[in-house]
Amino acid sequence: MALGFEAAGGIAEKLLPGVSLPILMNTVLPGLLAGAALYPFTSGALRNFLSLDVERSWPQLLIAAGAVVVLGALVSALNGEFYKVYEGRTGWPTRLSDWGVARQQRRVEQLYSKADAEKGVNQQRYDEYWYRLRIYPMHAETARRYATHPTLLGNILKGYEQYPDNRYGMDSVFYWPRLWLVIDKDQKEEIGKSWAIADGLLSLSAVSVLAGLFWLAAFTGAELGLLGSRWFPVRDDFFESTVAIAGWFVLGYALYRLSLPFHRQNGEIFKSLFDLYRDKLRKMTSLAPRESELWEAAWAYLQYLRIPCPNCGKGTISVITKDCSNASCGAHLPDVVANFQRSGKLIDVPKSNGEKMDLRDLINELAKAVSRNDE
């Protein structure tokens, strides 16, 4: 199925030069569908202007195309919110969410029961049940699948998002953006094309559902006499209006179901990227000793021309005046500034024998110099 859509995407890119598969799926098609949902509500000059006519002037066609792009861009901008709703994270009443999670959990238990019944009896059915079970998240300790979200999509996404943590102890929310930045550009483009299919289908589903709600609201308002007859999206017929409204909801559900295999495929890619590219993040685990102090010291110098004061450990020394900013310290340490400008070491200062002394050693050494200066 995925290969078929990718092939169709390649054909579309050839027929529409400059339009990539992500743009087609995330902007153009959702914009066209949103336009189709809103077009029946137009009337008069606006309807005449938006009517597709081969004899119509190019400027009008370009404006109509621009309207499609604007609608598509709006849908694309809301894609993240659509995911929250479809996952079951936003907009779900508590009771409905709990019911959905319980329903998904029952499905998990049924799949376990069916798989156990087919074990050693029918390998094909056994594999099929486990194929469905692997959609769900897994307990790291028991390796047993369970439901966490009220929708199948939510469980699919949770299942692959927890994979890096279960396998490698890597929090996917934190490490994924960093992993994405180290992946090759060509690889990113291929992955983007694959993921665009799932994102686009979900956006099309959301547009269909929103269109159904909009048509239902308009139909109800017209039936109750709250809106004029011009608000009827189809002919003034109860049956036809009902079928049209139901059609939008059916289309939305069908597109949602169609997107699920692609989301699962994207999840496998997501997990594979952690398997193959996590070593590129290895440098993040190699923290330098006292690294936070080094970065703070570097910032103080680059921003304000100041280095840490080894005498009090609280203030900073200006490389210009060589005075400590801490009033209770009041140290004047030109030797420290000279050593920094010579060695470039913000914190660690070399001893005479070539070893490094830390701040504590340096404070002890300079305390004598400070006392001599006071005398």
Give 201-248 as a DSSP string. Answer: HHHHHHHHHHHHHHHHHHHHHHHTTSS-GGG-SS-S-HHHHHHHHHHH
Average pLDDT over residues 205-219: 91
Is 37 contained in some domain?
yes
User: Are 83 and 32 within one domain?
Assistant: yes
CB 193 within 8 A of CB 199: no
- Reported as a single tens digit per residue, the pLDDT across 153-185 is 999 999 999 999 988 999 999 999 999 999 988
| Same-domain status, 164 and 261 | yes
Are residue 39 and residue 158 in the same domain, yes or no?
yes
Structural domain count of the chain: 2
Q: How do residues 189-211 score in pLDDT, each as one tens digit?
A: 888 888 999 999 999 999 999 99
| In a domain? residue 41 | yes
Structure confidence at residue 49 (pLDDT)? 58
Residue 11 placed within a domain: no
Same domain, 33 and 171: yes
Task: Please state, in angstroms and as integers, the Cα–Cα distance from residue 365 to each residue in 30, 285, 310, 314, 349, following that order.
Answer: 71, 34, 10, 17, 11
| Whole-structure pTM value | 0.75
Whether residues 178 and 268 share a domain: the answer is yes
**41-98 pLDDT tens trace:** 776 555 555 565 555 566 677 777 888 889 999 999 999 999 999 999 999 999 999 9
Which pLDDT score is estimated for 8?
Answer: 47
39 secondary structure, DSSP code: G
Are residues 226 and 267 both part of a single domain? yes
Q: Name 349's bridge partners.
A: 357
2, pLDDT greater than 90:
no
Same domain, 331 and 359: yes
Domain-embedded: residue 114: no
Q: How does pLDDT run across 106-129, given as a tens digit for each residue?
A: 999 999 999 999 998 999 999 999
User: What pLDDT is recorded for position 371?
Assistant: 52
Residue 172 and residue 260 in one domain: yes
Per the structure, the complete domain to which residue 306 belongs is given by: 291-374
- 258, 283, 308 - which closes a domain: 283
- Looking at the fold, whether 275 and 334 belong to one and the same domain comes out as no
* Confidence check: pLDDT of 329 > 60: yes
